[in-house]
Amino acid sequence: MSRILTRSIWVYHFAAAPCNNCDIEILDALTPKYDAERFGIKLVGSIRHADCMLLTGVVNSKDLPRLMSIYQQAPKPFFVIAVGTCALDLGIFRGSYNVVGPPDKHIPIDAYVPGCPPKPEALLSAVVKLIEKVRNDTSKPGKKKVKGIKKL
Amino acid sequence: MSENKKITEIPIGPYHPLQEEPEFFRLKIDGEKVVGIEIEIGYNHRGIEKLSESKSFDQATFLVERICGICSTSHPFAYVNAVEDLAAIRIPERAKYIRTVVGEIERIHSHLLWLGLAGHFIGYNTVWMWCWKYREPLLELCERVFGNRNHYAMMKIGGVRRDISDDQGDLIRKDMGDLVPKLDMLYNAIQDDPVIKARLRIAGTLTKKDARAYCVVGPTARASGIEIDVRKDDPYAAYGLVDWNVVVREEGDVYAKTMVRIDEMKESVKIINQCVDRLKEVKGEIETEIKEIPEGEGIGRHEAPRGEVFHYVRSRGGSVPYRHKVRAPSFMNVFSNEVAVVGGTIPDAALTLAAVDPCYCCTERMQAVDTDSKVYTSRDLIRMCQEKTYELHRKMKGGK
Ligand code: SF4
C-alpha cells in the first residue's frame, strides 16, 4: 500500500519553532538549481493532501497542540522527516524553558536529516533513502502508535 | 464574530500555506475591505535570551546566530559589537573589512530572497524562481569562503574567525561582477512591467507620519522617506571607511519597498568591492586576544537586511552574560501593518504583510504571562471535567 506513495511524494512543511534556515533550504530544494519537482516531489499547502511531512525546528509549548492536531489530520500511511539538528535533538536550544523535547517524543519520525542547516542535497538524499526504505519494507502496513497529548 | 454583524473575521495561520513561519493574523473585513487586524505571535519562542545567560560569551555568538537563519550574521554582528562596547575592545582593521563583507553578502542574499517571495505572492512565480536561482551562487560563495551556506559563524568577539585570502577575494569580486547585470535585469523588469508596477503601487502604503509613529526601521522606513541607517548614522566595522549611499524613496508603498531593496543590493555590491580591494592592502591580524570580560554593560547595533538590530549585554564579571537583551527589526516593522493593511482589500493584505519582510523567529523574544486571564481550550475543559470526576471518585471511595 505505502509503495504507491513512493512514485510521487507530496510534502507538507511544518515549521515548529525553527530559525527559518531549514525552511529556506527546503524551499531552495524546489528552485531551479536542485529542482526537486522533477522527481515528483511537491510542496502542498494542506496536510490532508500530503504523503510526508517535513518537520523543522524545536517544538515549543505553544506549537505542541497544533503539531498534534495537524498530525492527526494526516492521511495514513504517512511519513515524517525531521529536518535539521533542532528537530533531531534540539541542538543549541536544549535546556530552554519553553521547549518541550525533541519532536520524536511526540510523534513517530521516519527519517532524520542532520545539519544546521542541512544542504538541499541532503534533503533530497533523505527522500531517496526514505523511498528505498518503503520499497524494501515487506511488513504489512500497520497503524503507528501515536502517544496522546502530554500535559503541558 | 465581533459585535458588529457586518464585520467578518478571517483567521490567517498559525500554519498557513502562505506563511513560512508560524504566526497568526486575524483580519477583520467589511465586504472586501480590511477594517482591522490583530497580530498574534509566540509560536516561535525559544527562550534565547534566557539560554544566553547559561552560555559563555563566546558560545553566545553561536546561539544568537540561530535566532534567525536568513540574517544569520546580523545578530552575532550586533552581539559582538555589544560585548566589544562593554569591554572596550578595539578590533584590527582587517577584521573590520571582513565583517563588512560578510554583512553585505548576507544583505544581498536576504533581499533576493524577499524579492523572490514577493514575486511569488503576486503570482509571478518566474520572479521567485529566478531570484532564488541568482541567490544560489551567493550561497555557494559563502560556502567556499566562509565555510557554510548559512550560519557561517564568522563573527567572534575581538575579530573574525576566518580570514579571506586574496584568491577568495578575487572569487568574491567575480561573483559580484556576475550579479550586477542580473540585478539590473530585475530592476528593469519590475520597472517596465506595467502589471507588476500597478500591482505593487496600489498595495499597503505606509505614510511618513505613520512610519515615524510606529518607529519602523530599515528598508520599510527608507521606503517611506525616513533616512535612517545605522551604518551611516553610527558607523561601525568598515562602514565609515568606504563610500556608499543610503537609498531613500518617498512613496511608502510596496513598489517603493521593492525598489529600495534592489538599489540597496547595488550599494552592497559597491561596498563589497571596495572592501575586497582594501583587504589586499591591509594585512595583519584578524582578531585581538581577549583575556576577560570586565563588569559593565554595553550596547551593539547593526543594520540587518530588515533594519536595526539592537543587543544589550550586561556582565558581572565571570564568563557568562548576566543579562542579554535582543531587539530585532521586525518587532518594530510588523506592527506597522496595523495601519498599512487597514483600508486595503483582502488580496492586498498578504502582499502588504509580506512587504515589511517580517521575520518572526527574530521577533519572538518575550513571552507575556498574564496571570489574570487564561484561555481555556476545549482540551483544557475536558481535562477539568475529567479531573472533577476523578475527585468525586476519590471522595466517594474514601467515604465508603
Ligand atoms: S537546525 Fe539549525 S538551521 Fe535548522 S532550524 Fe535549527 S538552528 Fe536553524
For the stretch A78-124, pLDDT in tens is: 889 999 888 888 888 888 888 887 888 888 888 899 988 898 889 88
Strands B307-316 and B323-327: antiparallel
Task: Among A77-81, A138-142, B295-299, B336-340, name the most confident range.
Answer: B295-299
Peptide bond before residue A114 is cis, with ω within 30 degrees of 0: no
CA distance A83 to A56: 5
Instruction: Determine how many CB atoms are found less than 10 A away from the CB of residue B23.
Output: 24
With bands split at pLDDT 50, 70 and 90, how would you rate the model's confidence at B108? very high
Name the pLDDT band for B377 (thresholds 50, 70, 90).
very low
pLDDT of residue A4: 67
Candidate from B94-108, B122-136, B220-234, B264-278 with smallest mean pLDDT: B122-136
Over residues B91-99, mean pLDDT: 91
Q: Which residue has a Cα nearest atom 8 of ligand 1?
A: A19
- Looking up cell 539560554, which residue turns up? B51
B382 pLDDT exceeds 60? no
Kindly list the residues of chain A whose beta carbon comes within 8 Å of any beta carbon in chain B. 14-25, 27-28, 31-33, 44-46, 57-58, 60, 62-63, 65-66, 70, 91-93, 95-99, 116-117, 119, 149, 151
Predicted confidence band at B266 (pLDDT cuts at 50, 70, 90)? Answer: very high
> B54 and B46 in contact (C-beta within 8 Å)?
no
Q: For B235-377, where are the alpha helices, taking DSSP H only? A: 254-281, 329-333, 337-340, 346-355, 360-363
Tell me the CA distances in angstroms from B313 to A86, B84, B87, B96, B361, one per residue in order: 26, 10, 11, 21, 20
C-alpha angle B139-B145-B151 in degrees, rounded to nearest 5: 55
Average pLDDT score over chain A? 81
State the average pLDDT over residues A41-46: 84
Q: What is the pLDDT of residue B19?
A: 61
**CB–CB of B58/B291 below 8 Å?**
no
CA distance A137 to A111: 14
Which of the four pLDDT bands, split at 50, 70 and 90, describes residue B396?
Answer: low
pLDDT at B334: 79
Q: Looking at residue B387, what is its pLDDT?
A: 58
What does the pLDDT look like over B152-201, one tens digit per residue? 888 999 889 989 999 999 999 999 999 999 999 988 988 888 888 887 88
Average pLDDT of every residue of chain B: 82
pTM of the predicted structure, to 2 decimals: 0.85
pLDDT of residue B194: 81
Whole-number Å distance between alpha carbons of B324 and B332: 19
- Give the integer Cα–Cα distance in Å for B23 and B360: 7
Question: In this predicted structure, what is the pLDDT of residue A24?
Answer: 86
Residue B88 CA to ligand 1 centre (angstroms): 32
Which domains can be identified in chain A, with CATH numbers? 3-136 (3.40.50.12280)
- Mean pLDDT of the B212-226 span: 89
Amino acid identity for residue A61 in this structure: S
- Residue B139 to residue B142: CA distance in whole angstroms: 5
Higher-pLDDT residue of B394, B131: B131
Q: Are B20 and B28 in contact (CB under 8 A)?
A: no
Which ipTM score applies to this complex? 0.83
B147: left (phi over 0), alpha (psi -120 to 50) or beta: left
To the nearest whole Å, the CA of A78 is away from the closest chain B CA by 19
Say yes or no to pLDDT of B358 above 80. no
Cβ neighbours for B161, distance < 8 A, ≥ 6 positions apart: B153, B154, B155, B287
Judge whether residue B23 has pLDDT over 80.
Answer: no
**In this predicted structure, what is the pLDDT of residue B114?**
87
Across B48-57, B214-223, B229-238, B370-379, least confident range: B370-379
A22:B69 CB<8 A: yes
Which region, left, alpha or beta, applies to residue B288 given φ > 0 means left and ψ of -120 to 50 means alpha?
A: beta
Scored b (16 or more CB within 10 A) or e, B281-293 reads ebeeebbeebeeb
Atom of ligand 1 nearest to the CA of A116: 2
Residue B113 with chain A: CB contacts under 8 Å: 24
Distances (CA, A) of A7 to A14, A38, B18, B158: 22, 12, 26, 53
Instruction: Please state, in angstroms and as integers, the Cα–Cα distance from residue B13 to each residue in A50, A66, B40, following that order.
Output: 18, 11, 10
Reply yes or no on domain B48-340+354-363 having CATH 3.40.50.2000: no
Q: Where are the domains of chain B?
A: 48-340+354-363, 372-400
Please say if the pLDDT value at position B271 is more than 90: yes
